[in-house]
Amino acid sequence: MIAVGERALAACPVADGTSTTFEWYTAQWAATREAVRDVFDQSSDALSRYDWQYQRREEWSTMIDTLDYLQFEALYRISCSGVQVYLPLWLGFGPDDRTAPSTGTLLETHSETEFELVREQSQRLKTTLGKAVEAEAISPDAARNILLSVLSSRLCQYPN
């Protein structure tokens, strides 16, 4: 685990002929607005300037199923054709929600502006729904369903 900061996770495909196994790395400060902008601008050193720490080799689906969505603010999926940028979103609501940190989803983005907009909108929506859950106006499950419904067009279908 790494310290508090704009934390990011990067997935690099393993050159073993499969398209589902990745080397996973983490870096503090690699999810800042500047880092995300540089990735979308296709800056040649966009991700190389961060201190990436190797975590493990894992199948994409296994890693996504066990990802701690509270720990990361960006996920970069690196391929020969470029870098896909995802916003990890935890689906829990408040400290009393028993939802595990691995209960989340990835929101796919295609530009720096979209990344920032999706981040702001999802945080605002989570805050509003969290207040409704806290006031016991709706259940955490209902809040999750509303959140997923509103953000459904952005949900990653977990490509292999």
pLDDT digits (tens, 9 = 90+) for 46-74: 788 899 999 999 999 899 888 888 899 99
Q: Provide the pLDDT for residue 79.
A: 84
- Contact predicate 142/43, CB 8 Å: no
Residue 8 zone, left/alpha/beta (φ > 0; ψ -120 to 50; rest): beta
Q: What is the pLDDT of residues 116-146, one digit of tens each?
A: 999 999 999 999 999 999 999 999 999 999 9
- Show the tokens assigned to 61: 């689906």
